Structure 1
Amino acid sequence: MIFALKEENFVVIDNGSWRIKARKGVPKEIFEIPSLFLPTDNIEKRALSSSNDNNNILSLSSLSIADTKLPTTNPVSVFTSSPIIDRGEIKKWDELEALWRHILLKEFGIKRSRNECPVMITTPSWWTKEQHERIAQIFFEHFNVPGLYIADQALMAIYGCGSVSGLVVDIGHGKTDITPIFESIVQYHAIQTLPIGGQDIDKYLLTLLQSDEQLLSEYDDMLDIDFARAIKEIIGGFPDEEEEQSHTGDEERKEVEYLGKRFTIGSERLRAAEPFFNPSLVGKDEVPSLPDAINTAIYSCDIEKRSALWENIALTGGSSLLKGLKERLQKELEVFLIMSENAGDYQFKEAKFIKIPDYLTNFKERQDLAAFLGASMVAKLVFGDPKNFISKVDYNEIGPTAVHTKSY
């Protein structure tokens, strides 16, 4: 197939346990779709709980951020009652394929019979070769794409922050991945994964909120996981510097509006993310804290690489947006740093965080988009030369294993 490698044809898809982000060409708006979304016009009908689905639709709509575009669903499109991607693991391939199909064919209006849109898709560092082969099979055989490139999410995130070396701390919905990268090479042996993510914070916060008697009387309705998630995203996090200095954070209640109701939240809001630093709070006594895991990841790398890792920490993932998380993490990492006035070449005094460059004005506050933005930049380079990506010709000649020749 001969197709024009025009930028308006490039498709970028960034997979996540909570949301999938996608873009075709260079639109101002990024398309985001919940990973629980099930377009039933594309797959066989499944028995789902309508009451649970309605609750999910309400909460997701209420939590959509300014530049989030939820899917233009038809009347039979619903949300699944269980995850499609659970703590980073693909649990339902058919449903995931249906999501991709919905994005490509429905939202982007791509014609399968004459598909001129190559796809850049990101995956976690630890997804297997077999999973990559299945992705290739789906996109070439089911969607008829003319080209495909599978990119490492962590590597794309460090690119999205304007660097080629650093430590990517991806705090997702189901888990946290800590990935060292040095000069564009992922240090796979040093990756640390914590089974703690946004969903654990939601459950922990719900328990805290249920102990707030004033909230219970003001809200006058049952508190559920959707409510806790909303509170986390609106005011959850850690005390800011002013609150810590004045010691008013614990006593002051914050007024919140959710689904048309006004009420106040107490100090529970400032303890929601504490399990990242004390996993035993969510029953995970054997799991190291986030600072401990970061230190382990860095010290698992060669000594000459550690300085670049300490000085280029990239927080990403949905829960990276929690208020005060970076400041709390920076403070707790100080215990691991070598404090010396006569620092040598391989000594370091400070943990430094990098962010999305200011020139990306529409996205510089969206650290959770780092991998997506990095992939969008790399797509321009990859699809500019047929040698860089898997073409339809490559796939027809080699099959799914062609994915191992030009990806990662």
Structure 2
Amino acid sequence: MEAVVVDAGSKLLKAGIAAPDQLPPLVMPSKMKLEVEDQQLADGAVVEEVVQPVVRGFVKDWDAMEDLLNYVLYRNIGWEIGDEGQILFTEPLFTPKTLREQLVQLMFEKFNVSGFYASEQAVLSLYAVGRISGCTVDIGHGKIDIAPVCEGAVQHVASKRLEIGGGDLTNLFAQELKKSNPSVNLDTSDVERLKEQYACCTEDQLAFEDIESSCQPERHTLPDGQVITIEKERYIVGEALFQPSILGLEDYGIVHQLVTSVSNVSSEYHRQLLENTMLCGATASMTDCSVE
């Protein structure tokens, strides 16, 4: 049986049968709604509770993860109990050994897989574009992984992980929009859509510093009829990747982190790594980062 590939992220889970040059047929939210009995209510009413199995790239709730994989593998992929196949999981940078062992135990003991393999996301991202060496900047929903890869091997000593991601940028965008549109009520789904449509990066820091005078306001009508004005907020979101201080973090931005990461690898690989720098993740679509 062909192997199943599963990429379980903080926001989305992607899965499908391994096949070249094909998008994953299943893309779904990682969050789950579970019905639980509320002990604080007199009648013990059943309420819905939102559970997030994966937080900042790592599995935090194994019971929820098992339920999620049950739904994915048996109801969507088409596995049958007693006739399970092989599976490949993508693995974020710096995955603790204990989490990897728990995943292996879950797959063999609960899902009876015939074969299991975990491969690092940075390596798989480069393989997808026909490279075995390069540097990946993976901007996920809850983390940023920067990983130099030489001849198919991640250079862990030189790799970097930042505890920020698309979710933090969404929260920042919501805060900034509220400042300029105090009378407008926005829910998370509205902010997500607005971020995807409008958020971007300026060409350089000087351009960002000049947005107060150069930015043209845009008016956007929400589905409920409310009208919102978007100005410099669209650029602040992208700039936070280069200046984490905007998010209140004392850390360097992704360009500095990338250069530092590559400089910690043997000099013979420097040119190859920088020439094959790859941006991954949906948030990366609003960046245009180059290193000279």
Identify the residue that residue 310 of structure 1 maps to in structure 2. Answer: 274
How far the C-alpha of 1:260 sits from its partner, in A, is: 4.9
**Count of paired positions:** 279
Identify the residue that residue 33 of structure 1 maps to in structure 2. Answer: 28
Identify the residue that residue 6 of structure 2 maps to in structure 1. Answer: 13
Identify the residue that residue 232 of structure 1 maps to in structure 2. Answer: 195
Distance 2:49 2:74 in 1: 19
Distance 1:248 1:277, change over 3 A: closer
Identify the residue that residue 108 of structure 2 maps to in structure 1. Answer: 140
* Stretch of structure 1 that moved more, 144-153 or 307-316: 144-153
1:93-131 CA distance string (max 9 Å, x none): 11112111110012223112222x211111113112322
Distance 1:251 1:135 in 2: 48
Q: Which has the higher contact order (CA 8 A, sep 6+)?
A: 1
Q: How do 1:65-144 residues align onto structure 2 when only pairs under 5 Å count?
A: 80=50, 83-115=52-84, 117-144=85-112
Maintained 8 Å contact 2:56/2:142: yes
Give the letter for the 1:80 counterpart: V
How far the C-alpha of 1:12 sits from its partner, in A, is: 0.8
Q: Which runs of 5+ in 2 are unaligned?
A: 39-45
Identify the residue that residue 222 of structure 1 maps to in structure 2. Answer: 185
Distance 1:79 1:171, change over 3 A: farther
Maintained 8 Å contact 1:174/1:198: yes
Does the residue aligned with 2:179 lie in a helix, a strand or coil? coil
Q: How do 1:350-361 residues align onto structure 2 when only pairs under 5 Å count?
A: 350=292
Distance 1:77 1:127 in 2: 34
How far the C-alpha of 1:155 sits from its partner, in A, is: 0.5
Identify the residue that residue 264 of structure 2 maps to in structure 1. Answer: 300
Distance 1:18 1:273 in 2: 19
Distance 2:151 2:47 in 1: 44
Distance 1:313 1:148, change over 3 A: same
How far the C-alpha of 1:271 sits from its partner, in A, is: 1.9
TM-score, normalized by length of structure 2? 0.85
Does the residue aligned with 1:210 lie in a helix, a strand or coil? helix
Distance 1:272 1:240 in 2: 14
Identify the residue that residue 193 of structure 1 maps to in structure 2. Answer: 161
Distance 1:231 1:201 in 2: 12
Distance 1:142 1:88 in 2: 22
Distance 1:23 1:249 in 2: 48
Distance 1:77 1:129, change over 3 A: farther
Q: How do 1:281-360 residues align onto structure 2 when only pairs under 5 Å count?
A: 281-285=246-250, 287-322=251-286, 325-326=287-288, 329-330=289-290, 333=291, 350=292
Q: 1:268 aligns with which of 211, 228, 233?
A: 233
Distance 1:261 1:10 in 2: 47
Maintained 8 Å contact 2:198/2:234: yes
Maintained 8 Å contact 1:85/1:91: yes
How far the C-alpha of 1:320 sits from its partner, in A, is: 0.9
Distance 2:255 2:8 in 1: 26
Distance 1:161 1:77 in 2: 45
TM-score, normalized by length of structure 1? 0.62
Maintained 8 Å contact 1:161/1:314: no
Q: 1:23 and 2:16 equivalent?
A: yes
How far the C-alpha of 1:174 sits from its partner, in A, is: 1.1
Q: Which runs of 5+ in 1 are unaligned?
A: 48-75, 334-349, 351-408
Structure ranking higher in strand proportion: 2
Structure ranking higher in helix proportion: 1
Does the residue aligned with 1:181 lie in a helix, a strand or coil? strand
Q: 1:206 and 2:174 equivalent?
A: yes
Q: Percent same amino acid at aligned positions?
A: 29
